[in-house]
Amino acid sequence: MKLVIGDKNYSSWSMRPWVLMKHFGIPFDEVCVQMYEAGSKAAILAHSPSGKVPSLTTDDGVAVSDSLAIAETLAERFPQHALWPRDPAARGHARSISAEMHSGFGEMRAKMWMNIRASFAGKNATPGALADIARIDAIWRGCIEQYGGPFLFGEFCIADAMYAPVVMRFNTWLPALSATAAAYARRVTQHPAVHAWIEDALHESHAIPVYDTCA
């Protein structure tokens, strides 16, 4: 299979399936396209019909775009791995909070973009962004209290991959978190697949100036 992604420093959507596949040992070839350059759109369209990253091409030639769609495809194709929790109630819960991440938290995303190499501590803490962060904190605390940790549903799964870029944002912007949420963020940061993504991001040389500064 082939996974097309954007810059690891900036592309939060790309991070999700990459980390998931690395964690579960699902083999793939990686194609990384530098974003916001003159030829970026054409380079992505060569692999992704949507013109967006991430995009997965399966070994039988099916093209799947969007991180959550890719995750669902992987769960179908690799049932031997518990990409979603095995328990039906927990699985429904995991799907719900993953979908909430996928479609929500717009102000936090807009005001606190992903830039792993940057440090913007305390900035852009608008009321809307803080409300989004409070909801995320509550989700993390609720899951860990209900399922016992160390990850949201016990073992690392799609839900953790969906929230991994949020952890990257929190590492950069350093909003206040509850003790439970902060500890979870540290565990995700230290997760081997996440750590590998971070290391690659730190060694990238491509820069997107608009995301490298914050007034």
3-state helix/strand/coil string of 98-134: HHHHHHCCHHHHHHCCCCCCCCCCCCCCCHHHHHHHH
What the chain holds in terms of domains, given with CATH numbers, is 2-81 (3.40.30.10), 88-198 (1.20.1050.10)
pLDDT at 186: 98
Orientation of helix 158-173 relative to helix 127-147, angle to 10°: 140
pLDDT at 49: 86
Q: In this structure, is the dihedral angle defined by the CA atoms of residues 47, 48, 51 and 53, taken in order, positive or negative?
A: negative
The H or E element that residue 144 is part of is: helix 127-147
Cα angle: 19, vertex 155, 77; to 5 degrees = 60
Positions of the chain with pLDDT lower than 70, given as ranges:
none
pLDDT at 83: 98
pLDDT at 94: 98
pLDDT at 115: 98
Q: Strand 29-32 and strand 55-57: pairing?
A: unpaired
Residues 18 and 161 sit within 8 Å (Cβ to Cβ)? no
In the three-class reduction of DSSP (H, G, I as helix; E, B as strand; rest coil), residue 4 is classed as strand
- Predicted model pTM: 0.97
